[in-house]
Structure formats: structure tokens, C-alpha cells
């Protein structure tokens, strides 16, 4: 069984969903430390001014705070500003509806923390991309040890035979530990064709909502 284990991101790029589609079991690794200035609470969309960030403000209290402990800061009117920016940028997109109505409803629904909201949105996108990969949370397995040891601990508990990782993890994953555990380590390759976008030039790294708004039901055909 091929397994992927990654932190939840806010409305991630299409490669994230291709990654989910590539495994038999996908595990959200959100019992890790929250990192500021990362993809957990923000992403980019295309705008007439070029790619811009859409960000959910969070309450960051201490360095060891976990992703699943990080609460959304609702003191500021972030939702209205975010939706206005999305509507301003994509209202002329060919498939703006019904996605914007559904997205608005999901964003308006209360969430206990950024992890809960991210996972809610990721599951929604997966439904539209017809991705049926099983999804679980890493804290269900109570992993122990270093970065690589935590992964091995989870992988053994789910009887994984292959671990799929993003290419950036090559700098810290210990290949020997995987070899000793009898688990094949495989790195995901990202290579996608372009689709029609607003506001040239093409940018393949923006949030998946761009793909949905522009290609509609054909979005799954652009996952590789």
C-alpha cells in the first residue's frame, strides 16, 4: 500500500491534489509545529495586478504550537476581504459558479482551528476532482521520534509498503531507516500542462481554485 503524509495547506496548488490521488492512503500530518509564513494559512491567486496572497489570520502564541492547535483569529474581517478579492479577480472566469457559492459556505462555517478548515476545503476540492483516496489524521497513530522516525512509526502502523514524499523532503529524510524498515521510499515528480488562465503570464503554482474556476469539471484532466 502506498501512503503519503503531509501537513494540511490552505487551498493548496494542484500538485497537492495530484499527490493525494497518487496514494492509497493520505494522512494529514498536523500534529507538527506550526510554522509562520508557510502554506498552512495562506496561498496565492491570480489577480489583475499579478499573483497575490489570500491569508487567514491565526493566533500564534508560542514556538511549539502545533498546526492542529492553531486557532483562526476572527477578530479581523478577513473573510469579507478575502471573498471580495476572489470575486474581483475571478467573477469573469467561465466556471466561477457553482464553486464560489460552495467555497463561501465552507469558509463561513466555524472551524476550531486552521487544520480543521484546511482539511474541510481539501476534501471539498477532492470531491470535485473525483479523488477517492482514503484520508486520516496523523494524531490517530500517536507517532514518536524524529521526523523520519515519526513517519516510519505511522507507516508501520498502517502496513505501508511504499512511502510517497514530496521532493523537498530529500534534504532531511533518512533513506537508511526506510531501507531497514522494508518500506520503499519514492519521491513525487510534478509536471503539468498549462490551461487557460486570466491575467497572463501562466502561473502553475497558484491555488487550485484557479484551476476550478477556469476549467470546471475538466480540472481533473490537468492533474498530470
Residue range(s) defining the domain that contains residue 79? 2-222
Contact 88, 101 (CB under 8 A): no
Alpha helices in 10-77 (DSSP H): 14-21
Tell me the pTM.
Answer: 0.97
Query: Does pLDDT of 224 surpass 90?
Result: no
Query: Does pLDDT of 18 surpass 90?
Result: yes
The cell for 4 is: 503519503
Contact 15, 211 (CB under 8 A): no
Q: What is the pLDDT of residues 121-178, one digit of tens each?
A: 999 999 999 999 999 999 999 998 888 889 999 999 999 999 999 999 998 898 999 9
Q: What is the pLDDT of residue 76?
A: 84
Amino acid at each position: 500500500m502506498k501512503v503519503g503524509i503531509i501537513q494540511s495547506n490552505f487551498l493548496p496548488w494542484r500538485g497537492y491534489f495530484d499527490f493525494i490521488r497518487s496514494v492509497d492512503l493520505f494522512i494529514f500530518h498536523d500534529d507538527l509545529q506550526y510554522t509562520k509564513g508557510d502554506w498552512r494559512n495562506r496561498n496565492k491567486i491570480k489577480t489583475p495586478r499579478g499573483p497575490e496572497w489570500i491569508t487567514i489570520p491565526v493566533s500564534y502564541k508560542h514556538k511549539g504550537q502545533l498546526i492542529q492547535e492553531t486557532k483562526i483569529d476572527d477578530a479581523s474581517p478577513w473573510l469579507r476581504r478575502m471573498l471580495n478579492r476572489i470575486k474581483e479577480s475571478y467573477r469573469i472566469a467561465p466556471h466561477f459558479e457553482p464553486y464560489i457559492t460552495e467555497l463561501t459556505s465552507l469558509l463561513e462555517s466555524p472551524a476550531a482551528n486552521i487544520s480543521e478548515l484546511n482539511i474541510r476545503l481539501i476534501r471539498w476540492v477532492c470531491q470535485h476532482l473525483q479523488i477517492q483516496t482514503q484520508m486520516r489524521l496523523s494524531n490517530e497513530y500517536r507517532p514518536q521520534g524524529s521526523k523520519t522516525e515519526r513517519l516510519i512509526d505511522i507507516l508501520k502502523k498502517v502496513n505501508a509498503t511504499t512511502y510517497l514524499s514530496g521532493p523537498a523532503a530529500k534534504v532531511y529524510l533518512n533513506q537508511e531507516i526506510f531501507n531497514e524498515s522494508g518500506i520503499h521510499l519514492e519521491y513525487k515528480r510534478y509536471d503539468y500542462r498549462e490551461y487557460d488562465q486570466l491575467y497572463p503570464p501562466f502561473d502553475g503554482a497558484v491555488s487550485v481554485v484557479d484551476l476550478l474556476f477556469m476549467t470546471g469539471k475538466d480540472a481533473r484532466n490537468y492533474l498530470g
